[in-house]
Amino acid sequence: MINVQPLRQSEPIHIENLRKSFHAPVANKEPHYIIKDINLTIKGGEFFILLGPSGCGKSTLLNLIAGFIGKTEGKIALGGKEIQRPGSERAMVFQQADASLFPWLTVRENVEFGLKMKKLKKAERHEISSRYIELVGLGGHADKLPKELSGGMKQRVQLARVLANDPAILLMDEPFGALDAMTRRTMQKELIRIWRQTNKTVIFVTHDIQEAILLGQRVGVMSVGPSSQITDLHDIPLEYPRDLSDPKVLELLGTIQNHFDE
């Protein structure tokens, strides 16, 4: 059994009329907005899913919440405070693990990186990294370099590193997209277990409706871009763990699928 420290619940995220354009403004011309007029409040401790087709702006919205990029117009705040830059209470699990791992560090060194920055003692770092390396199923691979790992294994290293830093808000950008079906299911279950134990806020991006319904308390559906908006919000008031053979799950799957087909 792996123990995870319980944590104080994070503050809510408020988004109002949020717009993002990557182009410089041109006089008398409507900017090319990727996302336009997003309105959303995500409660502290909520497991929220952002679901939408490829290219609609899911990563863009997640990057705005992370503070990696700036908004064009509107409001985006954590608690009462405008998000202007990254913060240690928010951590991102990227779509591409390669973008986040240090290639010259071993699995363990990658996982311990943030702990070292926080000046944790070696023994403590070792204990925490062992716990999370084990959790993501990489026990026995701790001394390998990223180049010796498969894509799915690298993705799990990234997840272990983020979890080891124990952020209050987990921003997850299609984190299990590169995993095989079995590992994916294991990781989904572990994520739910960690979330329930720790009260973290999870904002999880996916384009997989099944994954959305297995994991989320609430699903925000984004429309096709540009000028993408959240066009539907679905509550998923079902117990965990959820099963794809449950008629209630199948019913929701149909409902959300219908919105996509419209």
Ligand X SMILES: Nc1ncnc2c1ncn2[C@@H]1O[C@H](COP(=O)(O)OP(=O)(O)OP(=O)(O)O)[C@@H](O)[C@H]1O
Q: Looking at 58-66, 105-113, 164-172, 242-250, which segment touches Mg ion (CB under 5 A)?
A: 58-66
What residue 175 binds from Mg ion, ligand X, none (CB within 5 to 8 A, per partner kind)? none
36 binds ligand X, rule: CB under 6 A: no
Please pick, from the candidates 59, 110, 201, 217, the single residue that binds ligand X as defined by CB under 6 A.
59
Task: Kindly state the tokens that stand for 145.
Answer: 């370099």
Residues 142 and 256: their CA atoms lie apart, in Å, by: 40
Residues 48 and 80: their CA atoms lie apart, in Å, by: 20
- Kindly provide the residue ranges of all beta strands, DSSP E only, lying in 114-246, ordered along the sequence: 169-173, 201-206, 218-222, 230-235
What is the b/e burial string over 122-141, where b = at least 16 CB atoms within 10 angstroms of the residue's CB? eeebeebbbbbbebbbbeeb
Closer by beta carbon to Mg ion, 112 or else 211 = 211
59 binds Mg ion, rule: CB under 5 A: yes
Closer by beta carbon to ligand X, 30 or else 127 = 30
Q: Looking at 58-66, 138-146, 183-191, 232-240, which segment touches ligand X (CB under 6 A)?
A: 58-66
Closer by beta carbon to ligand X, 208 or else 246 = 208
Q: Vertex 230, ends 20 and 73: CA angle to 5°?
A: 25
Closest CA to 97 of 168, 19, 141, 149: 149
CA-only gyration radius of the chain, Å = 19
What residue 188 binds from Mg ion, ligand X, none (CB within 5 to 8 A, per partner kind)? none
The CB-of-118 to ligand X minimum distance in angstroms stands at 30
Closer by beta carbon to ligand X, 52 or else 146 = 52
Q: How many CA atoms lie within 13 A of 228 on its CB side?
A: 24
Please pick, from the candidates 36, 58, 71, 90, the single residue that binds ligand X as defined by CB under 6 A.
58
Task: Kindly state the tokens that stand for 221.
Answer: 């559906």
221 binds ligand X, rule: CB under 6 A: no
The CB-of-173 to ligand X minimum distance in angstroms stands at 7
Q: Please give the residue ranges that form the binding site for ligand X (CB under 6 A).
A: 22, 34, 52, 54-60, 95, 207, 225
